Amino acid sequence: MAPAAGLAGLAILLLLIALRMPIGLALGVVGIGGTWALLGWDTLVFALGSAPVEAMSNFTLSVLPLFIFMGILAVKAGFAESLYKAAYAFVGHRRGGLAIASIVACGGFGAVSGSSLATVAAMGKLAVPEMLRYGYSRPLAAGSVATAGTVAILIPPSLPMIIYALLTEVSIGKLFAAGILPGILAVLLYSLTTVVWMWARPQDGPAGERMAWIDRLRALGGVWGVVSIFLLVLGGIFGGLFSPTEGASVGAAGALLLGILSGRIGWRAFVDAVSETVVLTAAILFVVIGVSLFSFFVTGAHFPQFLSETVGNLDLSKYLVLAIVVLLLIVLGCFLDVIAIVFVTTPVLFPIMRDLGFHPVWYGIVTMMVVEFGAVTPPIGMNIFVLAKQLPQVSAAQAFKGIAPYLVADTLRLLLIVAFPVIVLWLPGVFFQ
């Protein structure tokens, strides 16, 4: 009876989400209703008084508003423009060079924004019009930016990684370290895909202007701020100089200082950044409360244990189970935001994958990669939606056409990480022995 109630609760949750109920509210409704129906009124009162308080008391949450603030300041400080100009200066004169510059810049900007949608929004306004001006095909211009934006949640700091760490009690530092090599691998494979595209269809990406070396060095000097923040934050965390929360504080202060010195962040922009941070943080914390109630219900229903035992009794290969989970996450990624997927699926799927012997850090990185597949695939594709809304000259159909070659690179990257887990686990082992 209890596991069946858990399954029914999960189905109702997905139905409420499909009906556009806010994620936090849907989780709370199912958690409250399920606990009351299954465990009774007294247990529900206990859950309402303890689960949200315990969840909100988690020190890991303190890092959220600081990294959110840092990412918003990075957008307002114009870091995306500096990164794009530097990448353009070195590869823009080659066929497909503007697309490669966009890919590299997306990776760099993701290192300070931590958000796929923010990266696509910032780089889309900057890079896509420039590529179209040089005669690039619309599928290549839109596809390269939309797909490269997904790297933002792999290269730390990353908000979805922080939420995954909160839900699974995995070290944030280890997750951050684990995402670096897969993120770099993504940038390399996307760039290689663009090179192959140019070999097959050179007319889609004409060469841009060649810049003098003095101009290249001047453009490169514009990224010192981004690089400094990235190295200071991650170097301090990995080197044990400060905690992730302290690192986030340093990063936010650095982004604010650079924005003020560059003249891009004044009082109005600062107030806007604080306001946006408060709104986004409050929305995430509301979901955290909903997750705490939902987790209380599914735990009381013994649903995760039931799923683990069922999978074990089926005697399936753990890689077949992984393939099923990957397909499920891709489908959910087509309709839901990354953070919502992590909140909804992790409490249910993580115990199964852990019991099958998958490393918690490795599974976390695979989750980050796979949910972003859905962000660029039909029917919705959140990254495509953001790009098409910003740029009326590029249709969603053209953007979806452009991401197809890059999805081949994504599939290859996933297979490499499954075949060679050391790609994910090597750096955490180096920094956190």
CB 91 within 8 A of CB 101: yes
d(CA 100, CA 106): 10
What domain range is 392 assigned to?
Answer: 61-285+381-431
* Residue labelled with tokens 């691998």: 185
Determine the Cα–Cα distance for residues 214 and 316; give it in Å rounded to an integer: 60
In the prediction, which pLDDT does 218 show?
85
Residue 227 has pLDDT above 80, yes or no: yes
Identify the sign of the CA torsion 115, 324, 336, 289.
negative
Does the pLDDT value for residue 223 go beyond 70? yes
Residue 191 forms part of a structural domain: yes
3-state secondary structure the chain: CHHHHHHHHHHHHHHHHHCCCCHHHHHHHHHHHHHHHHHCHHHHHHHHHHHHHHHHCCHHHHHHHHHHHHHHHHHHCCHHHHHHHHHHHHHCCCCCHHHHHHHHHHHHHHHHHCCHHHHHHHHHHHHHHHHHHCCCCHHHHHHHHHHHHHHHHCCCCCHHHHHHHHHHCCCHHHHHHHHHHHHHHHHHHHHHHHHHHHHHCHHHCCCCCCCCHHHHHHHHHCCHHHHHHHHHHHHHHHCCCCCHHHHHHHHHHHHHHHHHHHCCCCHHHHHHHHHHHHHHHHHHHHHHHHHHHHHHHHHHCCHHHHHHHHHHHHCCCHHHHHHHHHHHHHHHHCCCCHHHHHHHHHHHHHHHHHHCCCCHHHHHHHHHHHHHHHCCCCCCCHHHHHHHHHCCCCCHHHHHHHHHHHHHHHHHHHHHHHHCCHHHHHHHHHHCC
* Whole-number pLDDT of residue 367: 94
Q: What pLDDT is attached to residue 192?
A: 95
Handedness of CA 144, 149, 151, 156 (dihedral sign): positive
pTM to 2 decimal places: 0.86
Lowest mean pLDDT among 73-77, 150-154, 300-304: 300-304
Sequence-separated (6 or more) residues with CB below 8 Å from residue 228: 254
Kindly report which listed range (178-187, 275-284, 390-399) carries the lowest average pLDDT score. 390-399
250: left (phi over 0), alpha (psi -120 to 50) or beta: alpha
In a domain, 146, yes or no: yes
pLDDT at 1: 54
Q: 235 in a domain, yes or no? A: yes
The pLDDT score that the predictor gives to residue 328 is 87
Give the pLDDT confidence score for residue 221 in this predicted structure. 80
Whether the predicted pLDDT of 247 surpasses 90: no
Task: List the structure tokens of 210.
Answer: 């060649």
* 4 vs 364 pLDDT, higher one: 364
Tokens 């529900």 sit on residue = 44
Residue 405 within any structural domain of the chain: yes
Q: With the CA atoms of 318, 323, 329 and 331 taken in that order, what torsion angle do they form, in degrees rounded to the nearest 10?
A: -150
Which residues have CB under 8 Å from 201's CB, separation 6+? 137
Round the average pLDDT of the chain to a whole number and report it: 86
CA distance 37 to 256: 50
Residue 358 resides in a domain: no
Asked whether residue 222 is assigned to any structural domain, the reply reads yes
Residue 98: its pLDDT value, please?
Answer: 86
Query: Given this model, what pLDDT does residue 386 score?
Result: 78
Count of domains observed in the chain = 1
pLDDT above 90 (res 419): yes
Residue 413 has what pLDDT? 95
Residue 257 burial (CB count, 10 A): 15
Residue 378 has pLDDT above 80, yes or no: no
Instruction: Give me the mean pLDDT over the 310-321 stretch.
Output: 82
Residue 93 lies in a domain: yes
Average pLDDT estimate for 334-340: 77
Q: What percentage of the chain has pLDDT greater than the value 70?
A: 99
38 belongs to a structural domain: no
Q: What is the pLDDT of residues 132-172, one digit of tens each?
A: 888 889 999 999 999 998 888 888 888 889 889 988 989 88
Contact by Cβ (8 Å): 374, 184: no
